[in-house]
Amino acid sequence: MSHSAPILQSQQPPTTPGPQRRWRARLLSLLVALLLAAPVLAFAVPVQAAAEIQRWSLADTNGDGWAISLFEQPDPDFPKGWRLRLTALALGEQLDHQRGLELEDSQGSHWQLANHSEEQVPAGDPAVPASSAQFDLARLQPRPSAILPLRLAIPLQNGTDQALMLSPEIVEAIGLKAGQGS
C-alpha cells in the first residue's frame, strides 16, 4: 500500500503594492485633486491679476522715508480705479485725509489728485491710518512725461506740505496706470 502525501497548494502571501503601484496611485490621486480644484483655480487667476501692487521706498527732502504703493482699488464698496498710496515711515508723521495731492513736473505742469484715504478701511470705518493717505489717479490727465521727475506736495495734518521727488521710473509706472483708467 502506498501512501501518498497530500498535495498542498502553494499559497503566496498577500502582495503589497510595489513602488510602481504606489506611484500610480499617487498620480491618480493628484489628477483627481487637480480636476476637483480646477473650477476654484479658474476663479483665482483673475483675483491674483487684479491684486498687482507696485511699491517703492523713497526719502523726502528732510531725509524721512516714504513708502509708495500703486494699485487698482480692490474693494467693491468703493469706485474702481488706480490708486496711489503714500505712507510715512517716520514715527509721528500724520497725513491730511481731506486735502488732495498736488503734483508738479519740471516744465510747470500741475495736477491735483482727489484724496480717497477713507478707502483704506472698510466702508463706514472712521479709523483711517494717520500715517497713510490714498489718492485717485483718474485726474492725472494728461499723463506726466515719463522722462521728467515729478514733485509731490504731500498734505500733512498740521496744514503744511512735505515735498517728495519721484524718479522718472516711478512717474512712468504711475502714468501707465493713470492711462488705463478704471
Residue 49: its pLDDT value, please?
44
Report pLDDT digits (tens) over 16-25.
Answer: 556 677 667 6
Across the chain, what does the average pLDDT equal?
Answer: 81
Q: What is the CATH architecture of 52-180?
A: Sandwich (2.60)
Range in 35-39, 121-125, 147-151, 177-181 the model is least confident about: 35-39
- Asked whether 155 and 133 are in contact (CB, 8 A), the reply is yes
Pairing of strands 82-88, 101-105: unpaired
User: What CA–CA distance (Å, rounded) separates 134 from 68?
Assistant: 10
Residue that wins the pLDDT comparison between 177 and 6: 177
Q: To the nearest whole percent, how much of the chain has pLDDT over 70? A: 72
Provide the whole-model pTM: 0.69
Report pLDDT digits (tens) over 107-150.
Answer: 999 999 999 999 998 888 878 999 999 999 998 999 999 899 99
- Asked whether 114 and 136 are in contact (CB, 8 A), the reply is yes
Q: Where are the domains of the chain?
A: 18-50, 52-180
Residue 75: its pLDDT value, please?
86
Of 38, 109, 118, which is closest to residue 83 (Cα–Cα)? Answer: 118
